[in-house]
Structure formats: structure tokens, C-alpha cells
Amino acid sequence: MIEALERMMLIRAHEETAAALQQAGRAPGSCTAIGGEASAVGVVWALGEDDEILTNHRSAGHLLARGADPNRLLAEIMGRQDGYCGGKSGPLHVSASELGVVLTSTIVGGELALATGVALSRRMAGREGVVACFFGDGAACQGRFHESVNLAAVWGLPVLYVCENNHWQAFVHRDETMLVDSIAARAPGYGIEGARVDGTDVIAVHEAARHAIARIAETGRPYLLETVTYRLRGHFEPDDMAYVDPQEHASWAARDPIDLLRNRLVGSGALDRATLDGIEARVARRISMAEAFASASPFPAPEALTTHVYA
């Protein structure tokens, strides 16, 4: 759990740096996932090395939890050639095949439309394991959610559907778009299992994800896991969050997943001040190195326009 805390702090530092670079005019805008670190680490750390991931426009946490190099990730966000996709994807379309991250889709629910096919290809190739598909509560309101989950259930495909319910769908609150409180409660309607878990508690998320993966292996059917969290920054940097209820935001900020885990570890005696200082120093140094690396990386050459594309 101390390692999980450090990874969550690395994700937070990366996201804050990306936002600061945007504000300084050194990087394009991005969709941060500050507040969702426990969901990312808890689920991704439950996956096996050969499992695959499809994610959405708030992907940095999933990528870094999977072991992405902060140097290359920040370089990609800044559009530099040493990034994961040669600077072509920017912050919203990153893929990293060596990590099993098939794609990041900025199209809301786009990853849902593709997860079923990825899982089918794994089964046809005789590969074990699961495909983890991360999406938000906004995507759960779209038709492609129904189509993907229904088809995966009918075909018995090993998809772990992870709805990171952060209460906000761009600039619209979840309460304005759905009349039910739980997305996981829809699972029985597809003949599959589902669960809802506190997305601010990395330990609870991890245990729920491990159980879900085990059930996929046992039943041969997909599983719908809902992690209830909160987006502590705006939809897209920059964003003044003028549309957010200050009291609601404050109540969720008091449940910051990093603070919760840190206090839990300190309270149990598992984490002392010296160890925490060491973690903070390592994280700061790592992100500083990543920013220097990305800033020194050149922009793609003009001839890169015609590479890695389909005609």
C-alpha cells in the first residue's frame, strides 16, 4: 500500500504538472483525473501482465498505474517526438502497446465500442486474461454502452467494464442525465454480475477488481464494476469550475483518495515521516526529470505526417 500511495502521488503530480504547462502556454489543454487516482491504481494493479486496457480521455492515471514512463507520457502530451506516439496523439489518444494499453479514446464511449472486438480477438487467438475497459458515467448514458455490454454478455467475452463514476459528464452533473443512482445495478439486466465500490479507497477498489477478474474466469462472462469517485478539477484544462456546487466539491475534496490512504498508513504505524518525505522527494524529482526530458525533446519532423497512418 505504500507503493500504491507513491504511484497515486506520481499520478497527481503528473496531472498537476500537465495543467500547469497548459496554463503557461507550453502544452495543449488536457482532461485530468485528479481525484480518481485510487480507482486507477486499484483496478490496474489487479490486472495481469498480459491483460489489455482500453481507456478514455482521462487516461494518465491508468497509463502511469500500468507503469508508463513519465518522460514519454509528458513528451506525448507536449506533442514531442519522444512521446509514446511520436507526439501525434497529444494528451487524448495515447496508446502504449508494450504496456497492453490498446488505445485512449477521446470520443465518449469510443473505447466501449472497441472493447468487445478486442476481447473477441483474444478468445479467437486462444489468449487467457481479460480486457479492462475504463469509461465514465457519461458514456454509460450512451447506446454503445448497451451494445457493448450486451454483446460481450451474449458471446461470453472476458471484459472487465470499469465505470469510473466521477459525477460529472463534461459540464453536466450526473443527476441531470440519469434517474438511478447506481450504474452497476444495470448488470443483472444483461445476465452478468456487477458491483459498486468506494472509488476513493484504493484497497477496496483493488479487492473488488480482483474479485471481478476471478468471477470473469469462473463464469466466462463480463463483469461491470462501478468505482464511485469525484472529479476534483474541471472537465478540460483550463476550467474555472463555475458550474460546480462549492459545498459538494468541498465534501468530496475532504475524501481525497491520496489523503485517505496516507492518513490510514500513518495511523496504523506503517508509514513514518521520514518514509513519507522520501516518497514526496522521489515523486517531485521524477516529475521534474520528466518535464526536462519532454521540454528537450524536439517536435516531430514534417515527414512524420505520413508515417503510422492508414490510406
The three-state DSSP-derived secondary structure of 123-149 is HHCCCCCCEEEEEECCHHHCHHHHHHH
- The pLDDT, as a whole number, for residue 239 is 85
Domain assignment present for 33: yes
* Residue ranges making up the domain that contains 137: 2-293
pLDDT of residue 311: 64
304 inside domain: no
Whichever domain contains 102, its CATH number is 3.40.50.970
**How confident is the model over 179-203, as pLDDT tens digits?**
888 999 999 999 999 999 999 999 9
- Structural domain includes residue 306: no
- Assigned domain for 266 exists: yes
pLDDT of residue 181: 85
- How many CB atoms lie under 10 A from the CB of residue 187? 23
Predicted structure pTM score: 0.95
The verdict on residue 173 lying in a domain is yes
Coil/strand/helix, residue 195: strand
Domain count for the chain: 1
Along the chain (311 residues), what's the average pLDDT of each consecutive run of 10 residues? Answer: 97 96 90 95 97 96 97 96 94 93 92 96 95 95 95 98 93 88 95 98 98 97 97 88 93 96 96 96 98 97 88 64
Determine, yes or no, domain membership for 303. no
Report if residue 299 sits inside a domain. no
C-alpha cell at 251: 465534501
55 domain-assigned: yes
